Amino acid sequence: MPETLLVTGAGGHLGRRVVANLLETAKIHPERIIAATRKPADHADLASLGVRVRHADFNDAASMASAFAGADRMLLISTDTLDKPGGRLAQHKAAIDAAGNAGVQHIVYTSMPNPEPGNAVIFAPDHYGTEQALGASGLKWTILRDSWYQENLMGYLPSALKSGQWYSAAGEGRIAHIAREDCARVAALVLASPPAGNATFTLTGSKGMTTREVAALASEVLGKPIAVVDVTPDQLAGGMKGAGVPEFLIPMLVSFDVAAKAGDLDIVTEDVKTLSGRDPAPLRDFLVASKAALLA
């Protein structure tokens, strides 16, 4: 009997694209797909296709038991609980336990590059702890360590384009940004046909770039100059506070630059092409496609 595939966080940007790729790229029949989300009513379009849309809240064990029932393999998309220390890891552990109790045999998990102890990113311990929990679960697992999305640059570039300055504490640290769509495609293909044994892959773009290199490319594509201004982490935090960034987010955002400068995020692999048969989308393509939104 064909396996039933479950996607958690199916209402999010990544989850929606994973479900779409299961249908369009992996050619999975919709009735084999369970889309778990906190707001099933918002996804009637998926239900109309035959996808089983179910309510799941990682803070509610009963909802997970119901949502996960009958699933053979599960994509565990990391949650967005960032305002409560340890909250995301607790949710992930609860989901892994619920999956095991429901009879799920294999979990695919979206992690981050190099989450081992020592990584400066504040939420790296959440991912490392989840990876450790998977290892101890007795279930089969595949870990997809997604590099920073190209789409994350939407949080930086508009203001840099407007002011002409990009304040950075990343120094010459490099990140190989990846298109979210590449991550969604790989996740769908791996969920549909996972490796025989436990495996960890790191999904990255094809080239690591410094903040200056990203700024130069953006200036070229978008036609507006951006000068990178080097600052300390404390200065970066102060500027964010002055700009009205929510205080609970500031340490996390600053930690990205600190980690980049330390080389914690400087990794480039061929895993996207190995798993999907396609090269990762270049950053230039994202900038061209997003030009109107970035300049708006």
pLDDT band at 1 (very low <50, low <70, confident <90, very high): confident
Q: Is the dihedral of CA 112, 116, 121, 126 positive or negative?
A: positive
> Is the Cβ–Cβ distance between 49 and 10 less than 8 Å?
no
Q: Where exactly are the structural domains of the chain?
A: 5-147+178-204+266-280
Helix (H, G, I), strand (E, B) or coil at 107: strand
How far is 292 from 287, CA to CA, in rounded Å? 9
What gap in Å lies between CA 295 and CA 159, rounded to an integer? Answer: 10
Burial class, 272, CB count within 10 angstroms (exposed 0-12 / middle 13-18 / buried 19+):
buried
Kindly give the residue spans of alpha helices, DSSP state H, lying in the chain.
13-24, 44-49, 61-68, 87-102, 124-137, 157-163, 180-192, 211-222, 233-242, 250-262, 271-276, 283-289, 291-295
Please give the backbone phi and psi of residue 169, each rounded to the nearest 5 degrees, phi first: -110, 15
Q: What is the pTM of this model?
A: 0.96
End-to-end CA distance of the chain: 50
d(CA 27, CA 192): 9
Mean pLDDT of the residues in the chain: 96
For 94-138, write each residue's pLDDT tens digit: 999 999 999 999 999 999 999 999 999 999 999 999 999 999 999
Q: What share of the chain is helix, strand, coil (3-state, %, to 5)?
A: 50, 15, 35
Q: Which CATH number fits domain 5-147+178-204+266-280: 2.60.40.150, 1.10.10.60, 3.40.30.10, 3.40.50.720?
A: 3.40.50.720
Q: With a cut of 90, say whether residue 197 has pLDDT above it.
A: yes
Task: Tell me what pLDDT residue 95 has.
Answer: 98
The pLDDT of residue 86: 83
Placement of tokens 């200065």 in the chain = 235
Residue 223 above 80 pLDDT? yes
* Residue closest to 190 by CA, chosen among 11, 60, 25, 13: 25
Give the mean pLDDT of 271-288.
Answer: 98
